[in-house]
Amino acid sequence: MRRASESGAVDAASEPEGQLNLEVGAHTACMLSSSRAQMWVSDTSPQIEFMIFAVRLRYKYRVYPTPPQQESLTRAFGCARVVFNDGLRLRQETHTAGSRYISDGDLSKQVITQAKKTEERAWLGEVSAVVLQQALADLNVAYRNFFASVSGKRKGRKVAAPRFRSRKDNRQAIRFTANARFKVLDNGRLRLPKIGDVRVAWSRELPAPPSSVTIVRDAAGRFFASFVVDALNEPLPETSSEVGIDLGLTHFAVLSDSTKVTAPQFLRNAARKLRKLQQDLSRKTKGSNRRKKAVAKVARAHAKVTDTRRDWQHKLSTMIIRDNQAVFVEDLCVAGLARTRLAKSVHDAGWAQFTAMLEYKASRHGRTFGRVDRWFPSTRTCSACGQINGKMPLGLRAWTCPCGAVHDRDVNAAINILAAGRAERLNDRGARVRPAAMPAPRGETVIHPGAAQFTRSVEGIPTISSGGERQSQRKVLAATVPATSPTSPMIARCLQSGAVPSHAW
């Protein structure tokens, strides 16, 4: 596949995986297309020099396997699940016995290579070996994430230990990498090892050859093919517009330019149909075929709500990214809000999915995306004078500031989010947005003089990491103060005593 532009072309099909060559006129450069790669082009003259970034994307398509192919896929799902559970069980038994942690290589030998030679697991050879290896790779990643979360290296919510997979899970998936030699044929079908040529509904072309493909079966019984590709970024023409977004429930998004987007409430609109399907399901006998059909109907109804919401959010996020150079949103605690009495409406809104779309689309199209601190009082702050007022009930949609300005609650919050985002973005070199508190004199503190101190480094100013380094830098800075300056003796004394940090001077 070739990607042409005014200045040249990128040829991705003729190069080995993980490496692309860029030709711009008579100049050539190389890009290692990993998860986050960079590619640069430079001329012998310093005038021509720019950078192009690559991003790893996932493209999802609906596939329609034949009944025999569905049986083969179901068999592959089961084999991958058994290998995953065998590996998890073996590691749990090893941990209980107090033995050493089994390495990834030894685990693969025991649950795949040696298991195939036994009579109980001989049927593992009926599926591609790559599928089984990728199932163990998922287990290893799950353990690494768990250990990183326990040790504190992984930020965010705590990650639980891996759990056993079940045949009753709503989502079943297997992954084929380049070693499996899967291939997209000229007739549009997807050739999978030991599965066959599967028909794919191509809604759009792949921007580059895929590095892996995941076959997924959801709760509604639908099959999908998810391709991972390394594609080049597509910067959009620059625009002067910037926007702040206040997310809500009555209005899904309120922009700083007073634009209000009404919340579609897809789940509540489908509640009547879902209630009827759930009532029909409750009347069916457990274990019967009619109950299975009723379960599939409920799953298809929920899938329709999910797909409709995702499609609507994709369109809205694309429009916002296309029309604005910078987008700022509030960093909401969705998990916390989902535990309140508004849980159903919060889940129906899908704020986390929408902000994730904005973030990756802004990164790919050369836009700026920022999150404002969730504790920032965007609603209570007057966008005209900056005064922070008292708490406001949710029913209060408009309020008047003592300065005389009348504000719409959501529009005012969006304007404040835009202002806070601009403040953070314009200080992108690490400088403080707001002035730091004046530290107490060294004699009034209980901090050891040699204790480490975290200080944000700014370009041209080294980070101060220890007490000895701070003492030496203060002496240097005190010596560099001009003697003719009327305030130089005071500054020198403050620097030597530690009352004013050197980076503040």
What does the pLDDT average to over 324-342? 89
What does the pLDDT average to over 371-381? 89
**What letter does residue 111 receive in the DSSP assignment?**
I
Q: Helices (H) and strands (E) in the chain — how many of each?
A: 12, 19
pLDDT at 11 over 80: no
Task: Look at the alpha carbons of 174, 177, 181, 183 in this order and tell me if their dihedral is positive or negative.
Answer: positive
**What letter does residue 302 receive in the DSSP assignment?**
H
Taking the mean position of all CA atoms in its chain, how far away is CA 446?
Answer: 41
pLDDT of residue 279: 96
Strand ranges across the sheet with 242-247 = 260-262, 251-255, 242-247, 326-330, 368-372
Most confident listed range (172-176, 334-338, 473-477): 172-176
pLDDT at 106 over 90: yes
Average pLDDT, the chain: 79
Taking the mean position of all CA atoms in its chain, how far away is CA 267?
Answer: 24
| pLDDT tens figures, 239-297 | 999 999 999 998 999 999 989 999 999 999 999 999 999 999 999 999 899 999 999 99
pLDDT at 374 over 50: yes
Closest of 257, 199, 205, 250 to residue 227, by C-alpha = 205
Query: Three-class SS of residue 322?
Result: helix
Query: Three-class SS of residue 435?
Result: coil
pTM metric for this prediction: 0.72
The runs of H, that is alpha helices, within 152-255 are none
* Cα–Cα distance list, 236 to 206, 292, 367 (Å): 20, 48, 8
| pLDDT tens figures, 380-427 | 889 888 888 888 888 888 888 888 888 888 999 999 999 988 887 665
- The C-alpha atoms of residue 99 and residue 469 are separated, in whole angstroms, by 46
More confident residue, 215 or 16: 215
* CB-CB contact of 371 with 354 (8 Å): no
pLDDT of residue 156: 81
* CB-CB contact of 227 with 309 (8 Å): no
* CB-CB contact of 464 with 481 (8 Å): no
pLDDT of residue 155: 85
CA torsion 284-285-286-290 (nearest 10°) is: -60
pLDDT of residue 52: 52
pLDDT at 19 over 60: no
pLDDT of residue 5: 35
Q: Report, as residue numbers or ranges, the catalytic residues.
A: 246, 330, 410
- The C-alpha atoms of residue 433 and residue 425 are separated, in whole angstroms, by 9
What does the pLDDT average to over 466-473? 47
